[in-house]
Amino acid sequence: MVTVTQNVVVVAAAVIGSLLFMLGLNRVWPLEQRRTYNDLIGWHLTVLGTTFAVMLGFMLYTVWSGLAEADLNVDGEANALLDVYQLGNGMPEPQRTQLQTLAHSYVNEVLNLEWPQMAKGEVPPQSSGLNKEMWETVMSVRATSPTEINTQQSALSQLNLLMQHGLIRRQQAAARLPNVLWCVLLVGGALTILSACSFGLQSVRLQGLQVFSISLLVSLSLVAIADIHRPFHGLIHVRDDAFRRVQQSMQDR
């Protein structure tokens, strides 16, 4: 899902569809005839509901953990880039200017090119020429003092981290729940709601409240998974604040 409106429409459609199905089932199979099967339906609903709740909880935990990991990885990438930029101050010219210019270009490329691509559900290229140029710039330094040697080694270490975090970010941008898992979730939710609609209560209002609450919870949970399962695309996504802060820090120096 991309907007709040889409979420509301999906949830409303699921709830209204469940209530209409309940009313239609009541006409075809009256409540009085179903009450004799309440024990069987209740056992069936308990098994389905418990199984589906476990699957739903596991999926929610998985996608939320993936979102948190993606956010943490973006922070790591941004921090590594800022360290590379700052370590450039300890290098001789022209490598100092070259490395800091490349760091500027890197953050601009991420913010202006890659982030909009990921927001659209696209996956950025797996490699950037800027990484190679930064490596070549650092390797071209002919360190003569212990300070320059330490600076060069630290810069190489941060460049390695930068490449790793960038690769992980692109992999996370391509990740999504497999279709088979979506099929399990949708079928499980539909069967759970169907069982709730089949329960024969004396009060139609009470039955409607039961179906309403179950269908609302199921649809909200599925919509939440749909919003979260792609860390960089959708209503809930990893923001580019970390790179914005890095860009501002570079401009202030």
Q: In this structure, how many other beta carbons lie within 10 angstroms of the beta carbon of residue 252?
A: 6
Phi, psi of 238 (to 5 degrees): -75, 130
Residue 227, both tokens: 């919003």
pLDDT tens, position by position, 150-209:
988 999 999 999 999 999 999 999 888 899 999 999 999 999 998 888 877 777 888 889
> SS3 for 175?
coil
Length of the chain: 253
CA distance 251 to 248: 5
Q: Which residue has the tokens 């490449």?
A: 163
pLDDT at 3: 81
> What's the angle, vertex CA 226, arms to CA 50 and CA 23, rounded to 5?
60
Residue 30, both tokens: 């009256």
- Yes or no: say if 118 and 173 are a contact pair by the CB < 8 Å rule: yes
CA distance 181 to 227: 15
Q: In this structure, what DSSP letter does residue 167 have?
A: H
Q: Whose CA is closest to 214, among 13, 34, 14?
A: 14
Q: How far is CA 172 from CA 112, 121, 201, 252, in A?
A: 19, 11, 47, 31
- Taking 70 as the threshold, does the pLDDT of residue 2 lie above it? no
pLDDT tens, position by position, 48-96:
889 999 999 999 999 999 999 999 999 999 999 999 999 998 888 888 9
pTM of the predicted model as reported, rounded to 2 decimal places:
0.87
- Taking 80 as the threshold, does the pLDDT of residue 252 lie above it? no
Q: Is 213 left (phi over 0), alpha (psi -120 to 50) or beta?
A: alpha
Domain boundaries defined on the chain: 4-252
- Yes or no: say if 249 and 45 are a contact pair by the CB < 8 Å rule: no
- Yes or no: say if 37 and 208 are a contact pair by the CB < 8 Å rule: no
CA 194 to the chain's CA centroid: 30
